[in-house]
């Protein structure tokens, strides 16, 4: 069964987020009290490029299986430390198609908008981490494993241990791309 392992937020623009007992998702905005919440882009690099573009990065999700893999490779990373709001277990987030919805707990619902593009901040946090979350597929394409981004469709409180229901999008599978 897919479930929420941990939830986190940060009121300031920092790399890591602080684990919480619960977070509240707000429709069209993101995580209440988080620096990245808003209808328009909030990530500083994206604001500099175009502050009026829609915020497709309201919620950052990482599968705990990535944290397990990183730990096996010598990178001790706890939930929230890579900037994610939600750590999940039992779901391959990277295999989901764009537009997949996730029902989190009893109320909240998000829609997957795309991949997080691993950046230099990962190496600033732990040297070598950026390369550890990137690999090449058999066809030579770049595989980004640093999580997925989502927008909030329905308000709700999310807590560790909450179940995750996957609702596939209608139509053909559309692979995730960086947002």
The DSSP code sequence of 69-110 is HHHHTT----TTTTS-SEEEES--GGGSPTT-EEEETTTEEE
pLDDT for the residue 51:
76
How many separate domains does the chain show?
Answer: 1
Query: Is 177 within the bounds of a domain?
Result: no
Q: Which residues pair with 152 in a beta bridge?
A: 110
End-to-end CA distance of the chain: 28
Query: Is 175 within the bounds of a domain?
Result: no
Query: Is 114 within the bounds of a domain?
Result: yes
Query: Is 113 within the bounds of a domain?
Result: yes
pLDDT for the residue 66:
97
pLDDT for the residue 47:
66
Residue reference for tokens 């209608």: 170
3-state SS, residue 83: coil
Query: Is 178 within the bounds of a domain?
Result: no
Give the mean model confidence (pLDDT) for residues 168-175: 94
Query: Is 172 within the bounds of a domain?
Result: no
Query: Is 179 within the bounds of a domain?
Result: no
CATH number (domain holding residue 70): 2.40.33.20
Give the range among 2-6, 39-43, 59-63 with minimum mean pLDDT: 39-43
E strand or H helix at 45, and its extent? Answer: helix 44-49
CA distances from 103 to 15, 44, 76, 122, 168 (A): 26, 28, 29, 29, 11
The arrangement of strands across the sheet holding 156-158 comes to 30-31, 23-26, 156-158
Query: Is 176 within the bounds of a domain?
Result: no
Residue range(s) defining the domain that contains residue 82: 3-167
DSSP class of 77 = -
* pTM (predicted TM-score): 0.95
């Amino acid at each position: 069964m897919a479930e929420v392992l941990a939830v986190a937020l940060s009121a300031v623009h920092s790399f890591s987020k602080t684990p919480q007992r619960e977070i509240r998702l707000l429709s069209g905005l993101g995580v209440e009290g988080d620096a990245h919440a808003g209808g328009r882009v909030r990530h500083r690099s994206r604001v500099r490029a175009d502050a009026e573009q829609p915020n497709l990065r309201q919620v950052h999700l990482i599968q705990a299986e990535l944290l397990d893999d990183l730990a096996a490779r010598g990178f001790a990373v706890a939930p929230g430390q890579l900037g994610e709001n939600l750590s999940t277990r039992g779901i391959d987030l990277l295999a989901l198609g764009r537009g997949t919805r996730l029902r989190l707990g009893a109320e909240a619902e998000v829609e997957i908008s795309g991949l997080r593009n691993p950046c230099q901040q990962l190496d600033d946090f732990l040297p070598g981490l950026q390369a550890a979350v990137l690999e090449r597929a058999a066809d030579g394409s770049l595989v980004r494993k640093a999580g997925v981004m989502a927008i909030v469709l329905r308000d709700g409180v999310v807590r560790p241990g909450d179940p995750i229901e996957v609702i596939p999008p209608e139509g053909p599978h559309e692979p995730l791309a960086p947002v």
